[in-house]
Amino acid sequence: MSFHEVLAHDLIRELGAVSAPFERILYSSSGAVASITISREDKLNALDSATIGELLRAFLIARSNGDVRAVILTGAGAKAFVAGADIAEMARLSPDEARRFAERGQELTRLIEAMPKPVIAAVNGFALGGGCEIALSCHIRIASENARFGQPEVKIGLLPGFGGSQRLPRLVGKGRALELLLTGGMIDAAEALRIGLVNKVVTSGSVVAAAEEMAGAIAANSPLAIEYCMAAVSSGLEMPLEESLRMEAALFGLCFSSDDMREGTRAFLEKRPARFTGK
């Protein structure tokens, strides 16, 4: 069992019934796409401990649902994806409680990052602090033109705690990451696109629709091949090139033992859409 599988197993055991009702998020699925919406619009979807716990449960549900092939994560309303962690709650934490809060947030971002199904962040407004960190852990980021990104923790005497100091430089490079981390400044969607922080920018109000379109395109492909692609990229980035190429060849060969590969090649030759099962 891999580290990420152990993490998911431990979270299921710790969180108990993942089917308990949600109060701070909305979870739905349509066809092969699951949607998770952080629903604290009056708080600009800020993350408190309870919201993090609900997000952990929601992603475990999506992970375990064999019908789900892609996940969209967004925030309620037009102002914010997630405006950051709940400062009122954080201000009361002791140093030890703060460390545990950071570790809990990291469990969430690691769970998202390790999902075997692509997670698309539909960033509709502010993605600051913990919100930016959650977006960074998603596999693809689509931003509304009114989106704003930043890690402003230094402005209140902190540093990112949910993985931002580690994922941001891996995504945009050390220099740009340090500029954002040390100034605590915000960048707009256009600049986020320019530096590679987001994949695409769309007009305000259309970000969820754009995410749905992309999720649908992904879901039409072989779930097994998608999972192997994601594993190859995620693991390969941490390996020397020669080692990662051997892993890619091994996964390529493994595909040839799958029903999806046989169905895909047969459908191509028969000039018809493939009907993939993920087996």
pLDDT of residue 82: 97
- 239-247 CB contacts, 8 Å cutoff, 24+ apart: none
pLDDT of residue 3: 46
CATH topology of domain 223-269: Lyase 2-enoyl-coa Hydratase; Chain  A, domain 2 (1.10.12)
CATH number of 3-219: 3.90.226.10
Write out residues in the chain with pLDDT < 70, as ranges.
1-19
What are the residue ranges spanned by the domains of the chain? Answer: 3-219, 223-269
pLDDT tens digits along 27-52: 999 989 999 999 999 999 999 999 99
Q: How many helices (H) and strands (E) does the chain have?
A: 12, 10
Residue among 25, 72, 16 nearest 47 (CA):
25
pTM over 0.75: yes
Confirm whether 3-219 and 223-269 share one CATH topology.
no
DSSP 8-state code for residue 22: P
Tokens of 184: 């605590």
Instruction: Provide CB contacts within 8 A for 181, sequence distance 6+.
Output: 151, 153, 154, 159, 160, 164, 165, 168
Please report where in the chains the tokens 């962040």 appear, as a residue: 121
Residue among 140, 120, 32 nearest 73 (CA):
120
Catalytic residue numbers, as ranges: 133, 153
pLDDT of residue 20: 79
